[in-house]
Structure 1
């Protein structure tokens, strides 16, 4: 629920913290996209397929290279307006890789671009596709051996960062993702998307602006909960680090 002088928006998924705050779209902080939206440069187009996750400063979407008949799956991270820079994101990836830690992030300048809406700029980053977070995995029934493996890997990642004097302020089970199997089966991926996509319309509960708000260019008519790719993760649950833009050298 938002508390604004002129209106209130409500979405059950947002109320349960399964999706971002709809107000962040109205005020232009986030770029509103949805499945079937096409984004990217003329020679670098992607179709948004489903939401993978969201955080305090970005939303990550499952996407596919436009007109790809086979494969072409990737993740697109759309940062909040004015948040970070291409140079900063690329530098952060290189710093983490130099620690010997596998990272999910944009590694080439050609895989980054800016979307502009209503005089606001949103940095978009094409990244490799990865699986669910450790936090999500721990909700499932795992063998003691796999739980121990996750703990050892997480400790090892933190140790490698600290040895190079790199510190992640928000190091948690949400920042560690499980790698997917080497090959993604297109048919299985489409089945996962179909069975896991959950959405809900956004309601105006205080309608002082009435129809004018519905016609607002940023009005988020529908919000989407993240899907899970746990059915196609590597069986040994190897980890990668994401959300490294808060990594700061000492």
Structure 2
């Protein structure tokens, strides 16, 4: 009787060993030539989850809130400040946060919670704060774009920036710690993954590429122009 499991001229496990070793060699060769890579360079395809995508966009917002804080400090203490940098920051909030990030929340996240009858009190407040934030942003842009804003206009700018920071610090913190984590229990893994892919598609359509990278580049440029980019500046001298 023929032994089909171990044919003649083949020792047990030799074919498996051959395929395994061959596969390893091929994979190693591809990786060495750069054809296969587990990580990607900036601007390449990334395996970013839905919540990670939303929360890193919050990171951009946090950095702009720090810019607002510094701008307020300089305006109230008569320190030198290029007002155009305030306008650039507010415009970045308008295009990247309000017209993109918040739109994703309002169109895809809030309705899911409201339909399920979950966290509806929270989404109601978040929606209202989005509306208030947009009004503040328009006023900040209007005053910051003036060639020579008056003392009163600068005071209004400070008040609006302070109000924005005061509202959005807890706003994004509640989303990061309450709303976004609850999304996992609200929808299936398949829907969660599909939502992330949809977000990525919308981002590329709206910005013509990686909107997050573009936003990070812009906020970095503003920080450097204001001389607040160096992280060591925020380390207490104790």
TM-score range, shorter-chain basis? under 0.3
Structure number having the greater helix percentage: 2
From the CA coordinates, give the structure whose radius of gyration is larger.
2
Q: TM-score, normalised by structure 1?
A: 0.24
Structure number having the greater strand percentage: 1
